[in-house]
Amino acid sequence: MNKEKMWVHVRDSFWFLPAVYGLISLAAVSLVSVADFLLVPKFEKNIPSVFLTNKSVAQTLYGSLITSILTMTTISFSTIMVVLTTYTTQFSPRTLQDFMRSRFTQHVLGVYSFGFIFSLVNLLLLGKEQSKGLISPFLTVIISIICLAFFILFIHHSSQFVKVNNLIGQIRLSTSKIIKKTFEEKDYEESSVWDQEEVDHIRSANRRVIYAEQSGYVQGVQIKPLMAWAKENDVLLEADFFIGHYIQKGMPIFYYIQNNESDEFSPEYCLQFLLIGNERTDIQDIEFSIQKLVEIAVKSISPSINDPHTAVNCINRIGSLLAELGQQFIPIRYYADHNQDLRLILEPKPYREYLYKSFYQIRIYGRHDLSVMNGVLEALYKIAVVDGAEVRKDVWRFGEYMIKAVDVEELEELDYEYFHQQAKKLANACGEPLDYLA
C-alpha cells in the first residue's frame, strides 16, 4: 500500500483523532512531571498556593476526576449508539458514516481520551511523600472542566444531528464540497475530448489487462500519483470501472499499453492508487452522497413513517445539488501529463445517470403521492432554469418519464390542475411541448 493511500485510510478512521489526543496527553504528562519535580521546588515560594496541592489531596482528586471523565465518556458512547440506531431505523444506514466521521464527534472523544490518560498517568506517578508542591492537580482540574464543556457541546451536537432537517442540510453541504472539488482546476491536463484517431488507434492496439486483486467498492482514484507512475513507466491506462462501482476479484480493471517495455515494470502496482473498501464512501462518489438523500426521501414516504414533507425537503436538496452539478459538469475522460502525452482514460458518469439515480426510486415509491411528484417536477424545473441547453435536454427527457408515472385519469380536478401547471412550467423551461397532458 502506498503512503498516500495508507494516510487516507488512517486519517478517515474513527480511532485516529482519539489516538492523537492520547499521544499528546502522554507528552503533556511528561512536561508537567518535569515541572512538578524540577521546576516547582525551585520556584515554590513565588507560586500562589492556590496552584499547588499536596500529594494526598492530589490522589483523592485524581480518583474522582478519572471516574467523572470515564462516566462522561460512557454517556457519550451511549448517546452515539442512540443516534446510530435512530439513523438506521428512520433515515438510512448509509448516513451512519456522516455522524461517525464527524470531526466534532471524534474531537470530543479525543478530549475525553486526553483527560482520562492525563489523570490516570499522573495518579500512577504520584509518590508517597506528602509534601506540598504539585501543579499537575490544578491543571487536571482545568482539563476536567474542558471535558465537561465538550460533554455539554456533544449533547447539543447529537441532538442537532439527529434532527432530519439538519442531517439533510449537512449532507447537502458535504455533497456540494465534493462536486466543487471534483471539477476544480487540477495541476495536470484534463479534457473531455481528444484526438479521435489516436483514441481509436489505442483501443485497437494489442492492449494488456490488469485484473483486480480484491473485491469491493471503488471508493476513489488517486489520479495525480497514478499519472506520475504512468509517466515514469511510459504507460497509457484505460480504466474499466466507475467510481462507486463494485468490482469482483479477478475481473479486468485496467487495460494498458507500455511504449518502452522494461523487465522491472510491474503493472499491478497501479492498483495501489485505487481506494477499494467494503462499503461506498463519499470521498469522490457524488452519486453515493445524493443516494443518502434519496434513501431518506424513500423511507419518509413509506407507510410506516408517512412523512411526505421530509421527502419533499430531500427532493429540494437533491434538485439543488443536481443544478449545481449541471453548472459545473464536464465529462472529463482524458488525463494527460505536462508533455501532453495521454496517460489515463477514465470514463465519467453522464449527467443523465445522476439524474436518473436521483429520482427513479422516488418515482417507484412516490408515484401515488401527488405532493412528492409535484416536488420532483418543481426540482426539475429549477434545474432547467439555471442550467444550459444540454442539461435541459436531459431534464426534459427525465421529466416526461416522471410525468407519465402519474395516472392522471384518477386525479381529482384540483389535483389535475396543479399537476398540469407544474408539468407545463417544466416544459416551458425546457422549451418543449407538453403533449402528454394536452
Do 132 and 197 lie in a common domain?
A: no
Segment 220-239, tens digit of pLDDT: 888 888 888 888 888 888 88
Same domain, yes or no, for 365 and 224?
no
CA separation for the pair 393, 154 (Å, rounded) = 47
Grid coordinates representing 38 are: 524540577
| Domain match, 44 and 95 both | yes
Distance CA 244, CA 256 (A): 22
- Does residue 347 sit within a domain? no
The closest alpha carbon to 326, from 403, 385, 244, 377, belongs to 385
Report if residue 230 sits inside a domain.
Answer: yes
Q: At what angle do helices 389-403 and 413-430 cross, to 10 degrees?
A: 160
Integer Rg of the chain from CA: 29
The 10s digit of each residue's pLDDT in 362-398 is 999 988 889 999 999 999 999 999 888 888 999 999 9
Together in a domain, 262 and 147: no
Q: Is 377 in the same domain as 314?
A: yes
Q: Which of 244, 277, 310 is the last residue of a domain?
A: 277
What phi and psi values does residue 196 have, to the nearest 5 degrees?
-65, -35
Instruction: Indicate whether 179 belongs to any domain.
Output: no
Whether residue 172 is contained in a domain is answered as no
- State the amino acid at position 109 in one-letter form: L
Q: Residue 311 pLDDT more than 60?
A: yes
The answer to whether residue 270 sits within a structural domain is: yes
Which of 246, 277, 308 is the last residue in one of the domains?
277
Q: Based on the fold, state whether residues 204 and 73 are members of the same structural domain.
A: no
255 and 381 assigned to the same domain: no
Q: Please give the Cα distance from 86 to 91 (Å, whole number).
A: 7
Let me know if residue 174 belongs to a domain: no
Q: Are residues 125 and 236 in the same domain?
A: no
* DSSP track, 267-322: GGGGGGGEEEESS--SSS-HHHHHHHHHHHHHHHTSTTT--HHHHHHHHHHHHHHH
Overall pTM surpassing 0.85 (yes/no): no
Confidence of residue 357 (pLDDT cuts 50, 70, 90): very high
CB 50 within 8 A of CB 132: no
Q: Please check whether residues 134 and 194 belong to one and the same domain.
A: no
CB within 8 Å of 365: residues ≥ 6 apart: 298, 301, 302
Confidence of residue 258 (pLDDT cuts 50, 70, 90): confident
Q: How many independent structural domains does the chain possess?
A: 3
Q: Which residues contact 268 (CB under 8 A, 6 or more apart)?
A: 210, 213
Residues 301 and 381 occupy one common structural domain: yes
User: In the chain, what percentage of residues exceed pLDDT 70?
Assistant: 86
203 located within any domain: yes
Per-residue buried b or exposed e for 55-89, using 16+ beta carbons within 10 Å of the residue's own CB: beebbebbeebbebbeebbeebeebbeebbebbee
pLDDT digits (tens, 9 = 90+) for 98-140: 666 677 888 888 888 888 888 888 777 775 554 555 677 778 8
Same domain, 206 and 148: no
Residues 189, 185: Cα–Cα separation, whole Å = 9
Domain limits for position 12: 3-162
- Say yes or no: 224 and 249 in one domain: yes
The predicted pLDDT at position 312 comes to 92
- pLDDT recorded at residue 47: 63
Q: Is 105 part of a structural domain of the chain?
A: yes
Contact 287/357 with Cβ under 8 angstroms? Answer: yes
Q: What is the CATH number of the domain that holds 222?
A: 3.90.1170.30
